[in-house]
Amino acid sequence: MTDATNRKPIRKAVFPVAGLGTRFLPATKAIPKEMLPIIDRPLIQYAVDEAREAGIEQLIFVTGRGKVSIVEHFDTAFELEATMSGRGKQLDVLDATRIQPGNLVTVRQQVPLGLGHAIWCARAIVGDEPFAIFLPDELMIGVPGCMKQMVEAYNRVGGNVISVLEVPREDVSSYGVIQPGAQVAHGLTEVLGLVEKPRLEDAPSNLIISGRYILQPEVMRTLEGQGKGAGGEIQLTDAMARMIGHQPFHAVTFAGRRYDCGSKSGFVEATLELALAREDMAADMTALIKRLAATLD
Ligand code: G1P
């Protein structure tokens, strides 16, 4: 497994997008939370862009009721394109939404039984090869992107690779937390244990799993028949924890910015910072923020 010649490329990525998005109601009553835009791109687009930058070809969306617009977003919009072309408008703004025919697959998670269950729903499409997972709520901005950094680590150590980052100790109970082992290289650590949403006093560190994974297909077998864990849900973290000791397991500390777009303040933070970083918006946004800051004490 750790032999470089045994390392299959990461060609497939699973995007669990069946969640109800209750934290953003009423905005998410009729549209999926993954379609909420940060400026002019929906959240799912950022995750898909990150996947493609890392060389991933096939996108597997684990969807549910009311999520059709996510799939439509990545389809050809004939009327729109014909109308825009007829008016002499450029279509390159739509380039990122184009998927090679056959490379977008959806499966349904009929009942919300947890992240582990959502991933398991994709088992037949994933088949017998390592694959990536993206939680689109976590917006990761870096050069290179988070998954590309992880694929580089995977090419080196093989096995399973997850991304982690440090959070204030008092926040650990909202996340999966790793027990770090030896540092293998700068930003690359062995993982000795994993625990989902531990109590503060039981947390093995303040390094949390930040929504990006490269996993071996054995995780699907491990998820099979797995009982409920934290919060009464079938947890991916529990399945991964059971693989430690049987397969290499490493964590990459993502070098970049992470925004928790599952929370309202994280969403606004991402919007402001990404707008400030854009050439076409930076001047207006800087003026706006200075004006607002002057009204505060
Ligand atoms: C999930 C994972 C957790 C991870 C988190 C990152 O939790 O189960 O291990 O740290 O995503 O956002 P959720 O946010 O779905 O409760």
Task: Verify that 270 and 146 share a domain, yes or no.
Answer: no
Task: Verify that 207 and 71 share a domain, yes or no.
Answer: yes
Task: Verify that 211 and 269 share a domain, yes or no.
Answer: no
Could you tell me if the CB of 63 is within 6 A of ligand 1?
Answer: no
Could you tell me if the CB of 115 is within 6 A of ligand 1?
Answer: yes
Task: Verify that 168 and 273 share a domain, yes or no.
Answer: no
CA separation for the pair 154, 4 (Å, rounded): 9
Ligand 1 centroid – CA 196 distance (Å): 8
pLDDT in tens, the chain (297 residues): 445 556 899 999 999 999 888 999 999 999 999 999 999 999 999 999 999 999 999 999 999 999 999 999 999 999 999 999 999 999 999 999 999 999 999 999 999 999 999 999 999 999 999 999 999 999 999 999 999 999 999 999 999 999 999 999 999 999 999 999 999 999 999 999 999 999 999 999 999 999 999 999 999 999 998 899 999 999 999 999 999 999 999 999 999 999 999 999 999 999 999 999 999 999 999 999 999 999 987
Could you tell me if the CB of 149 is within 6 A of ligand 1?
Answer: no
Task: Verify that 284 and 235 share a domain, yes or no.
Answer: no
Q: What is the pLDDT of residues 172-219, one digit of tens each?
A: 999 999 999 999 999 999 999 999 999 999 999 999 999 999 999 999
CA separation for the pair 274, 16 (Å, rounded): 24
Q: Which atom of ligand 1 is nearest to the CA of 260?
A: 12
Residue 3 falls within a domain, yes or no? no
Check residue 201 and give its pLDDT: 95
Ligand 1 centroid – CA 127 distance (Å): 24
Q: What is the pLDDT of residues 242-253, one digit of tens each?
A: 999 999 999 999
Task: Verify that 146 and 40 share a domain, yes or no.
Answer: yes
Non-local CB neighbours of 251 within 8 Å, separated by 6+ positions: 161, 162, 163, 164, 178, 180, 188, 189, 190, 191, 207
Q: Which atom of ligand 1 is nearest to the CA of 209?
A: 10
Ligand 1 centroid – CA 211 distance (Å): 6
Task: Verify that 252 and 290 share a domain, yes or no.
Answer: no
Residue 223 falls within a domain, yes or no? yes
Residue 1 falls within a domain, yes or no? no
Which residues span the domain enclosing 249? 8-262
Residue 118 falls within a domain, yes or no? yes
Task: Verify that 289 and 250 share a domain, yes or no.
Answer: no
Residue 2 falls within a domain, yes or no? no
Check residue 297 and give its pLDDT: 73
Q: What's the number of domains the chain is made of?
A: 2
CB 259 within 8 A of CB 267: yes
Task: Verify that 183 and 275 share a domain, yes or no.
Answer: no
Check residue 3 and give its pLDDT: 53
Task: Verify that 256 and 282 share a domain, yes or no.
Answer: no
Q: Whose CA is nearest to atom 15 of ligand 1?
A: 115
Task: Verify that 209 and 267 share a domain, yes or no.
Answer: no
Task: Verify that 220 and 274 share a domain, yes or no.
Answer: no
The H or E element spanning position 253 is strand 249-253
Q: Whose CA is nearest to atom 8 of ligand 1?
A: 176
Could you tell me if the CB of 118 is within 6 A of ligand 1?
Answer: no
Half-sphere exposure of residue 63, counting CA atoms within 13 Å on the CB side? 20
Which CATH number covers residue 70?
3.90.550.10
Could you tell me if the CB of 211 is within 6 A of ligand 1?
Answer: yes
Residue 286 falls within a domain, yes or no? yes
Could you tell me if the CB of 163 is within 6 A of ligand 1?
Answer: no
Residue 202 falls within a domain, yes or no? yes
Q: How many helices (H) and strands (E) does the chain have?
A: 10, 13
CA separation for the pair 53, 102 (Å, rounded): 19
